[in-house]
Structure 1
Amino acid sequence: MSVFAKYHVKAQEFDPPLDWEGLFGRSGPLVVELGFGSGEFLIQNAIEHPSTNFVGFETSLTCMVKLQKSLSRLGMNNVRAVLSDGKFGLKELFRDKTVDAVYVNFPCPWPKEAHRNRRLYSKTFVDTLASVLKDQGSFHLTTDVQWYLKDTASLLIESECFSVKMSEALNKNVVSTRYEKKWLSRGKVIYTLMAVKIKSASIKRITWEDKEMPHVHLKNVCEDKVKALRDKVFHEDQESVFVVKNVYSNVDEFLLRVISSDNGFQQCYFVLIQKRGKSYIVKIDPSTIPYRTPTVKKSVFKIAEVIQS
């Protein structure tokens, strides 16, 4: 087992929501950072608050490895990291009223209108915060983009679930990250927001029900139909789509590389079509374990439906 294994939580391998106390081996306040980057903020806060459990989310494998090396070198035990989209992880992996604080430092603002859906803030994100944060729990945002801060504040205020306070600082470190130092060196103003939860909201999780990963048994499979799946797009509904990017074949089996999207949350995985005796099985290949979202499950059933002869 890698010395870094204890820090990396492979959340797809657990039934949601996760037992964070079990993963840390202790109880304690729970703090989450979305997009930890190089990990400076996460590590510094974990050092300063050894009795607090910290969970960081990041989509960059390079950043994940760098964080794990730093945590191992420092001998730290109160940090866990998840290689996943933070918005999805916050919504799906935590129970209601279990998180003490959520931090986001210098997120990409995605300024173009065409990229609006990629921005962190949305009504769904605000509702997620109002669900998973404890009463009087807090959300902290630090950015160098004023309009981004104001737009986020507006959504938080409109929800009536938060008390919001904003401030700005010039030539002063707020969170001491690499990006902050870079922007301050260029004379930029750093804007901060703190929102304290005053009312809860309810949200629907998409991975909490029917947690079994599907598989389908078929008597016969049409090989031509399997090969024809390459680059085929399936629109299941407005929020659900998947595409078969590649089809690989071997003796008595096919491997399909699939990319799915559940309301913008994308995953890449393989679907295995394998001959077993006189029949076939269609299932998620164990080399890739995606989150058990509705679209992932639909992709298995739809592929099986299309290829049977």
Structure 2
Amino acid sequence: MTVSHLKYMITPQKYKQLPMDLNEIFGNKRRVVVEIGFGGGEYLVAMAKKNLETNFIGIETSLTACDRAQKKIYNEGLKNIRLIIGDARFLLKEIFSHESISKVIVNFPCPWPKKRHKNRRIFVEYFRNTLASSLKEGGYLELATDVEWYAEEVKEYFSKDQRFEVENIEKNFKREIKTRYEKKWDKMGRDKFLIKIKKVKSEEIQRLLKEQEIMPHQKIKNLSKEKLESIINEEFNTVSGKTIIREKFENDEKIILRSITVEKELTQEYYIEIIKRDDEYLIKLDPMTTPFRTPGVKEAIKKIANKVAI
């Protein structure tokens, strides 16, 4: 296997303009189907192979899963699949334009059954708001699960939302293409549930990312070593969340700060560098890291400059 199988990955953090232009990415204007949490990629690849006139995007949080799926795509010679690594709740909101997705498929997600984990469930209110924008009018969300109470909960949430129409839950449904676990559970006789939800009314949403290509640099005349030490492990608020500086690395050329910014559903870890020039210090994003250029990340640069300047 060569690195050529890596060509199926999309890294939206590197795009100068968001939301993405899917027609440009695929080189055509075909309908787009998104699978969230594709695991090993068996279902996604089989769907793409069977539906060559449809473009597929898989979203996963696991780098290992993405690598395995890319090898499957490469071996099948498919050109109608792309993969993205990250949190689907954030990605569908920020990198997909209004009414750009025809269908969203979620196969057997973790239901997060404990009450304290309720906000980790994917179909919370802000994700329903995202679907009301990113799904085409008349487009579908399809959820398959082996947890009956979870299917009922999702049905209840969407039934109360006038932007969607909900079909009855189908118990022990049959699909021509199945996930790996679905095949296993069918052999075990385990119950499974399918719910289809149609979007009937569109609604625009406010996006977090604006001017993705603009990342401010800050310049200061003098730097206080004492003030720099004092911000390590300090948490400070930004306009859209909070940032904490976790570690400092230093050599003769530069200072590197390991930073974490939390904004609503997005948590990013990245590095900020402080470089000594002839008569000033330059504070900027380290070029080896590629966070989304969110308001919180941009503001972190400015606040660090203010905190360490003399």
Q: What band does the TM-score fall into relative to the shorter chain?
A: over 0.9
Amino acid in structure 2 at the alignment position of 1:250: N
Helix, strand or coil for the counterpart of 2:92?
A: helix
Amino acid in structure 2 at the alignment position of 1:138: Y
CA contact (8 A) 1:30 1:54 kept: yes
Amino acid in structure 2 at the alignment position of 1:240: G
Aligned to 2:92: 90
Change (3 A) 1:182 1:303: farther
Deviation at residue 221 of structure 1 after TM alignment: 1.1
Helix, strand or coil for the counterpart of 1:166?
A: coil
Change (3 A) 1:260 1:186: farther
Which moved further from structure 2: 43-52 or 148-157?
148-157
Amino acid in structure 1 at the alignment position of 2:191: V
Amino acid in structure 1 at the alignment position of 2:73: L
Taking the TM superposition and a 5 Å limit, the aligned residue runs for 1:156-175 are 156-170=158-172, 172=174, 175=177
Taking the TM superposition and a 5 Å limit, the aligned residue runs for 1:131-280 are 131-170=133-172, 172=174, 175-209=177-211, 211-236=213-238, 240-280=241-281
Q: Is 1:124 aligned to residue 131 of structure 2?
A: no
CA contact (8 A) 2:47 2:177 kept: no
Q: Is 1:307 aligned to residue 303 of structure 2?
A: no
Tell me, which stretches of 5 or more residues in structure 1 are unaligned? none
Helix, strand or coil for the counterpart of 2:128?
A: helix
Deviation at residue 58 of structure 1 after TM alignment: 0.7
CA contact (8 A) 1:171 1:187 kept: no
Task: Report Cα offsets for 1:44-81 as digits up to 9, x if no partner.
Answer: 11001001111111110000100111111111100000
Question: How far, CA to CA, are the matches of 2:237 and 2:182 in structure 1?
Answer: 41
TM-score, normalised to structure 1, is 0.94
Aligned to 1:31: 33
Aligned to 1:47: 49
Taking the TM superposition and a 5 Å limit, the aligned residue runs for 1:48-127 are 48-127=50-129
Question: How far, CA to CA, are the matches of 1:264 and 1:115 in structure 2?
Answer: 14
Deviation at residue 292 of structure 1 after TM alignment: 1.4
Question: How far, CA to CA, are the matches of 2:153 and 2:97 in structure 1?
Answer: 27
Question: How far, CA to CA, are the matches of 1:178 and 1:135 in structure 2?
Answer: 31
Task: Report Cα offsets for 1:140-170 as digits up to 9, x if no partner.
Answer: 1111112222222222122201111133333
Question: How far, CA to CA, are the matches of 1:194 and 1:171 in structure 2?
Answer: 12
Question: How far, CA to CA, are the matches of 1:129 and 1:217 in structure 2?
Answer: 41
CA contact (8 A) 1:168 1:189 kept: no
Helix, strand or coil for the counterpart of 2:233?
A: coil
CA contact (8 A) 2:173 2:193 kept: no
Taking the TM superposition and a 5 Å limit, the aligned residue runs for 1:279-290 are 279-290=280-291
Helix, strand or coil for the counterpart of 1:117?
A: helix
Question: How far, CA to CA, are the matches of 1:301 and 1:187 in structure 2?
Answer: 58
Change (3 A) 1:171 1:163: closer
Aligned to 1:296: 297
Count, aligned residues = 308
4+ residue runs over 3 A deviation = 168-175, 182-187
Question: How far, CA to CA, are the matches of 2:95 and 2:172 in structure 1?
Answer: 36
Amino acid in structure 2 at the alignment position of 1:3: S
The percentage of aligned residue pairs carrying the same residue is: 37
Tell me, which stretches of 5 or more residues in structure 2 are unaligned? none
Amino acid in structure 2 at the alignment position of 1:273: I
Question: How far, CA to CA, are the matches of 2:158 and 2:164 in structure 1?
Answer: 6
Deviation at residue 242 of structure 1 after TM alignment: 1.7
